[in-house]
Protein backbone atom coordinates (compact mmCIF):
# COMPACT_ATOMS: atom_id res chain seq x y z
CA UNK A 1 0.00 0.00 0.00
CA UNK A 2 0.99 3.66 -0.06
CA UNK A 3 -0.31 7.10 0.76
CA UNK A 4 -3.59 7.63 -1.04
CA UNK A 5 -6.65 9.87 -0.94
CA UNK A 6 -9.60 9.45 -3.26
CA UNK A 7 -13.09 10.89 -3.23
CA UNK A 8 -15.73 8.17 -3.22
CA UNK A 9 -18.81 10.40 -2.87
CA UNK A 10 -19.10 14.14 -3.46
CA UNK A 11 -22.44 15.89 -3.06
CA UNK A 12 -23.76 19.43 -2.82
CA UNK A 13 -27.22 20.42 -1.64
CA UNK A 14 -29.47 22.95 -3.34
CA UNK A 15 -28.47 25.34 -0.53
CA UNK A 16 -24.81 24.99 -1.52
CA UNK A 17 -23.54 22.83 1.34
CA UNK A 18 -20.95 20.35 0.12
CA UNK A 19 -20.51 16.90 1.70
CA UNK A 20 -17.46 14.82 0.73
CA UNK A 21 -16.54 11.23 1.56
CA UNK A 22 -12.96 10.09 1.00
CA UNK A 23 -11.10 6.83 1.32
CA UNK A 24 -7.61 7.59 2.60
CA UNK A 25 -4.58 5.46 3.42
CA UNK A 26 -1.73 6.52 5.66
CA UNK A 27 0.55 5.01 8.35
CA UNK A 28 -1.33 3.67 11.36
CA UNK A 29 1.04 5.51 13.69
CA UNK A 30 -0.61 8.90 12.99
CA UNK A 31 -4.21 7.69 13.37
CA UNK A 32 -4.50 9.30 16.81
CA UNK A 33 -3.64 12.70 15.30
CA UNK A 34 -6.14 12.17 12.49
CA UNK A 35 -8.85 11.30 15.01
CA UNK A 36 -8.49 14.57 16.91
CA UNK A 37 -10.50 16.31 14.18
CA UNK A 38 -14.02 16.11 15.57
CA UNK A 39 -15.84 17.45 12.51
CA UNK A 40 -14.97 14.18 10.75
CA UNK A 41 -17.19 11.13 10.64
CA UNK A 42 -14.91 8.16 10.12
CA UNK A 43 -14.60 4.41 10.12
CA UNK A 44 -11.36 2.58 9.63
CA UNK A 45 -9.56 -0.73 9.49
CA UNK A 46 -9.66 -2.43 12.87
CA UNK A 47 -6.97 -4.43 14.66
CA UNK A 48 -9.84 -6.23 16.39
CA UNK A 49 -11.42 -7.30 13.10
CA UNK A 50 -8.62 -8.13 10.64
CA UNK A 51 -7.28 -11.70 11.02
CA UNK A 52 -3.75 -11.89 12.44
CA UNK A 53 -2.51 -13.92 9.47
CA UNK A 54 -3.72 -11.26 7.06
CA UNK A 55 -2.11 -8.48 9.07
CA UNK A 56 1.14 -10.43 9.33
CA UNK A 57 1.24 -10.84 5.56
CA UNK A 58 0.79 -7.10 5.06
CA UNK A 59 3.52 -6.23 7.54
CA UNK A 60 5.97 -8.73 6.02
CA UNK A 61 5.29 -7.84 2.40
CA UNK A 62 4.51 -4.13 2.51
CA UNK A 63 5.36 -2.50 5.84
CA UNK A 64 5.21 1.19 6.49
CA UNK A 65 8.76 2.53 6.65
CA UNK A 66 9.40 6.26 7.18
CA UNK A 67 10.66 8.11 4.14
CA UNK A 68 12.61 10.67 6.16
CA UNK A 69 14.55 10.43 9.39
CA UNK A 70 14.50 13.71 11.30
CA UNK A 71 17.33 14.56 13.67
CA UNK A 72 16.33 14.61 17.34
CA UNK A 73 15.99 18.06 18.87
CA UNK A 74 13.84 20.01 21.32
CA UNK A 75 10.28 20.69 20.19
CA UNK A 76 7.74 18.81 18.09
CA UNK A 77 9.34 19.24 14.65
CA UNK A 78 12.57 17.83 13.30
CA UNK A 79 14.10 20.70 11.35
CA UNK A 80 16.90 18.66 9.82
CA UNK A 81 17.36 15.10 8.69
CA UNK A 82 20.19 12.87 9.81
CA UNK A 83 22.95 12.13 7.31
CA UNK A 84 22.82 9.26 4.82
CA UNK A 85 24.75 6.82 7.01
CA UNK A 86 22.51 7.40 10.03
CA UNK A 87 19.40 7.26 7.84
CA UNK A 88 20.41 3.87 6.48
CA UNK A 89 21.06 2.58 10.00
CA UNK A 90 17.69 3.95 11.15
CA UNK A 91 15.90 2.11 8.36
CA UNK A 92 17.66 -1.11 9.32
CA UNK A 93 16.68 -0.59 12.96
CA UNK A 94 13.06 0.01 11.95
CA UNK A 95 12.91 -3.17 9.88
CA UNK A 96 14.59 -5.15 12.67
CA UNK A 97 11.86 -3.92 15.02
CA UNK A 98 9.29 -5.00 12.39
CA UNK A 99 10.84 -8.48 12.27
CA UNK A 100 10.75 -8.76 16.04
CA UNK A 101 7.13 -7.65 16.18
CA UNK A 102 6.23 -10.23 13.53
CA UNK A 103 7.97 -12.97 15.52
CA UNK A 104 6.10 -12.14 18.70
CA UNK A 105 2.73 -11.71 16.95
CA UNK A 106 3.26 -15.16 15.43
CA UNK A 107 4.00 -16.49 18.92
CA UNK A 108 0.76 -15.00 20.27
CA UNK A 109 -1.08 -16.56 17.33
CA UNK A 110 0.40 -19.97 18.24
CA UNK A 111 -0.88 -19.43 21.77
CA UNK A 112 -4.35 -18.72 20.32
CA UNK A 113 -4.36 -15.15 21.62
CA UNK A 114 -7.15 -13.09 20.07
CA UNK A 115 -6.35 -10.67 17.26
CA UNK A 116 -7.47 -7.72 19.38
CA UNK A 117 -4.17 -8.15 21.23
CA UNK A 118 -1.88 -9.96 18.78
CA UNK A 119 -2.40 -7.36 16.04
CA UNK A 120 -1.47 -4.50 18.35
CA UNK A 121 2.21 -5.45 18.15
CA UNK A 122 2.12 -4.82 14.40
CA UNK A 123 0.46 -1.40 14.40
CA UNK A 124 3.60 0.80 14.01
CA UNK A 125 4.33 -0.98 10.73
CA UNK A 126 0.82 -1.05 9.22
CA UNK A 127 -0.71 1.03 6.44
CA UNK A 128 -4.16 2.13 7.58
CA UNK A 129 -7.32 2.79 5.56
CA UNK A 130 -10.04 5.19 6.70
CA UNK A 131 -13.37 6.26 5.23
CA UNK A 132 -13.98 9.86 6.30
CA UNK A 133 -16.95 12.16 5.62
CA UNK A 134 -17.28 15.86 6.43
CA UNK A 135 -18.72 19.20 5.41
CA UNK A 136 -15.90 21.15 7.08
CA UNK A 137 -12.34 20.58 5.87
CA UNK A 138 -10.48 23.90 6.01
CA UNK A 139 -9.25 23.60 9.60
CA UNK A 140 -7.85 20.12 8.97
CA UNK A 141 -6.04 21.26 5.83
CA UNK A 142 -4.66 24.35 7.58
CA UNK A 143 -3.25 22.32 10.46
CA UNK A 144 -2.14 19.13 8.72
CA UNK A 145 -1.22 20.12 5.16
CA UNK A 146 1.37 22.21 6.90
CA UNK A 147 5.18 21.97 7.18
CA UNK A 148 4.83 21.89 10.98
CA UNK A 149 2.74 18.71 10.91
CA UNK A 150 4.36 15.32 11.33
CA UNK A 151 5.45 14.34 7.80
CA UNK A 152 3.35 11.16 7.78
CA UNK A 153 0.07 13.00 8.36
CA UNK A 154 1.18 15.99 6.32
CA UNK A 155 1.67 13.80 3.26
CA UNK A 156 -1.84 12.37 3.30
CA UNK A 157 -3.40 15.73 4.22
CA UNK A 158 -1.88 17.25 1.09
CA UNK A 159 -3.31 14.43 -1.01
CA UNK A 160 -6.72 14.92 0.61
CA UNK A 161 -6.61 18.65 -0.02
CA UNK A 162 -5.81 18.07 -3.68
CA UNK A 163 -8.61 15.51 -4.01
CA UNK A 164 -11.05 17.94 -2.39
CA UNK A 165 -10.00 20.81 -4.64
CA UNK A 166 -10.35 18.82 -7.84
CA UNK A 167 -13.57 17.04 -6.88
CA UNK A 168 -16.75 17.56 -8.86
CA UNK A 169 -19.80 17.41 -6.58
CA UNK A 170 -23.14 16.07 -7.74
CA UNK A 171 -26.20 18.10 -6.78
CA UNK A 172 -28.42 16.18 -4.37
CA UNK A 173 -31.89 17.75 -4.11
CA UNK A 174 -33.95 17.92 -0.94
CA UNK A 175 -35.08 14.39 -0.18
CA UNK A 176 -32.11 12.84 -1.96
CA UNK A 177 -29.20 11.08 -0.27
CA UNK A 178 -25.40 11.05 -0.22
CA UNK A 179 -24.61 7.34 -0.65
CA UNK A 180 -20.90 6.35 -0.44
CA UNK A 181 -19.91 3.04 -2.05
CA UNK A 182 -23.17 2.65 -3.93
CA UNK A 183 -22.07 1.46 -7.36
CA UNK A 184 -22.89 3.28 -10.63
CA UNK A 185 -25.05 0.40 -11.86
CA UNK A 186 -27.12 0.63 -8.66
CA UNK A 187 -28.29 4.11 -9.60
CA UNK A 188 -31.21 2.89 -11.70
CA UNK A 189 -33.64 5.71 -10.97
CA UNK A 190 -35.36 3.77 -8.21
CA UNK A 191 -32.97 1.91 -5.90
CA UNK A 192 -30.99 5.00 -4.84
CA UNK A 193 -34.18 6.49 -3.37
CA UNK A 194 -34.97 3.51 -1.15
CA UNK A 195 -34.28 2.83 2.51
CA UNK A 196 -32.41 -0.29 1.39
CA UNK A 197 -29.90 1.83 -0.53
CA UNK A 198 -29.17 3.88 2.59
CA UNK A 199 -28.69 0.77 4.66
CA UNK A 200 -26.44 -0.84 2.05
CA UNK A 201 -24.28 2.29 1.83
CA UNK A 202 -23.83 2.43 5.61
CA UNK A 203 -23.00 -1.27 5.81
CA UNK A 204 -20.35 -1.00 3.11
CA UNK A 205 -18.73 1.89 4.96
CA UNK A 206 -18.63 -0.35 8.04
CA UNK A 207 -16.80 -3.05 6.08
CA UNK A 208 -13.65 -0.93 6.04
CA UNK A 209 -13.11 -2.36 9.55
CA UNK A 210 -12.30 -5.66 7.82
CA UNK A 211 -10.84 -4.04 4.67
CA UNK A 212 -13.61 -5.72 2.66
CA UNK A 213 -15.49 -2.55 1.66
CA UNK A 214 -14.17 -2.83 -1.91
CA UNK A 215 -14.94 -6.52 -2.27
CA UNK A 216 -17.80 -8.61 -3.63
CA UNK A 217 -21.22 -6.96 -3.48
CA UNK A 218 -23.98 -8.87 -1.69
CA UNK A 219 -27.09 -6.82 -0.96
CA UNK A 220 -28.56 -9.36 1.45
CA UNK A 221 -25.30 -9.55 3.42
CA UNK A 222 -25.12 -5.75 3.53
CA UNK A 223 -28.68 -5.51 4.86
CA UNK A 224 -27.97 -8.13 7.53
CA UNK A 225 -24.85 -6.23 8.57
CA UNK A 226 -26.81 -3.00 8.79
CA UNK A 227 -29.31 -4.59 11.12
CA UNK A 228 -26.55 -5.97 13.35
CA UNK A 229 -24.92 -2.54 13.50
CA UNK A 230 -28.10 -0.84 14.63
CA UNK A 231 -29.14 -3.55 17.06
CA UNK A 232 -25.72 -3.40 18.73
CA UNK A 233 -25.57 0.41 18.83
CA UNK A 234 -22.60 0.67 16.45
CA UNK A 235 -23.98 3.63 14.55
CA UNK A 236 -20.90 5.47 13.29
CA UNK A 237 -21.13 3.94 9.76
CA UNK A 238 -24.58 5.55 9.48
CA UNK A 239 -22.95 8.98 9.66
CA UNK A 240 -21.54 8.73 6.12
CA UNK A 241 -25.05 8.53 4.64
CA UNK A 242 -26.89 11.85 4.74
CA UNK A 243 -29.70 13.92 3.26
CA UNK A 244 -29.77 17.71 2.79
CA UNK A 245 -31.29 19.65 5.67
CA UNK A 246 -33.75 22.14 4.25
CA UNK A 247 -32.98 24.64 7.00
CA UNK A 248 -29.24 24.50 6.41
CA UNK A 249 -28.64 23.90 10.11
CA UNK A 250 -25.62 22.31 11.78
CA UNK A 251 -26.75 18.87 12.86
CA UNK A 252 -24.16 16.90 14.75
CA UNK A 253 -20.84 17.46 13.01
CA UNK A 254 -22.32 18.29 9.58
CA UNK A 255 -23.49 21.65 8.25
CA UNK A 256 -26.61 21.54 6.07
CA UNK A 257 -26.90 17.75 6.09
CA UNK A 258 -28.73 15.27 8.32
CA UNK A 259 -27.02 11.91 8.84
CA UNK A 260 -28.88 8.62 8.59
CA UNK A 261 -27.73 8.10 12.18
CA UNK A 262 -29.96 11.00 13.26
CA UNK A 263 -33.05 9.08 12.11
CA UNK A 264 -32.47 6.40 14.77
CA UNK A 265 -34.35 7.28 17.99
CA UNK A 266 -31.97 7.66 20.92
CA UNK A 267 -28.91 7.42 18.65
CA UNK A 268 -26.86 9.46 21.09
CA UNK A 269 -27.28 7.03 24.01
CA UNK A 270 -27.31 3.32 23.22
CA UNK A 271 -27.73 2.59 26.93
CA UNK A 272 -31.17 4.18 26.86
CA UNK A 273 -32.63 1.75 24.37
CA UNK A 274 -30.18 -1.12 23.67
CA UNK A 275 -31.36 -1.88 20.18
CA UNK A 276 -35.13 -1.71 20.70
CA UNK A 277 -35.40 0.77 17.81
CA UNK A 278 -35.66 -2.14 15.36
CA UNK A 279 -38.09 -4.20 17.40
CA UNK A 280 -41.32 -5.01 15.58
Cα Rg for the chain, rounded, in angstroms?
21
* Lowest mean pLDDT across 16-25, 79-88, 251-260: 79-88
Question: 127: helix, coil or strand?
Answer: strand
Q: Where are the beta strands (DSSP E) in 28-94?
A: 41-44
The one-character DSSP state at 217 is -
Distance (Å, whole) CA 280 – CA 275: 11
Order of strands, sheet of 127-134, starting from the edge strand that comes earlier in the sequence? 41-44, 127-134, 18-27, 4-13, 170-172
pLDDT digits (tens, 9 = 90+) for 88-112: 999 999 999 999 999 999 999 999 9
pLDDT at 279: 44
Contacts 24+ apart (CB under 8 A), 246-255: 246/15, 246/174, 248/13, 248/15, 248/17, 253/38, 253/39, 253/40, 253/41, 253/134, 253/136, 254/19, 254/41, 254/134, 254/135, 255/17, 255/135, 255/136
Domains plus CATH for the chain?
A: 4-166 (3.30.1360.170), 174-278 (no CATH)
CB atoms within 10 A of CB 57: 11
Q: Which residues contact 261 (CB under 8 A, 6 or more apart)?
A: 235, 236, 238, 239, 252, 267
Quick one: how far is CA 202 from the chain centroid? 13
Nearest in space to 129 (alpha carbons), one of 55, 43, 236: 43
CB atoms within 10 A of CB 50: 19
- 18 pLDDT band (50/70/90 cuts)? very high
The percent of residues above 90 in pLDDT, for the chain, comes to 84
Distance (Å, whole) CA 124 – CA 29: 5
pLDDT digits (tens, 9 = 90+) for 215-228: 667 899 999 999 99
Note if the pTM is more than 0.95.
Answer: no
- 275 pLDDT band (50/70/90 cuts)? very low
* CB-neighbour burial class of residue 256 (10 A; exposed 0-12, middle 13-18, buried 19+): buried
pLDDT digits (tens, 9 = 90+) for 130-155: 999 999 999 999 999 999 999 999 99
Amino acid sequence: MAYEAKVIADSVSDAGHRLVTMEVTFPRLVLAEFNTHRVFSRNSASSRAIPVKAQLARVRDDPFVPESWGRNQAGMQAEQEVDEVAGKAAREAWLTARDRAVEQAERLLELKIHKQLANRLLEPFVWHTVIVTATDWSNFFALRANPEAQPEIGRVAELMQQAHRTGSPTTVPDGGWHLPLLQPEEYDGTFEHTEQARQVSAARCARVSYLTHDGRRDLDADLRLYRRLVESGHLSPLEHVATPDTGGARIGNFLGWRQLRKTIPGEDDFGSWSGTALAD
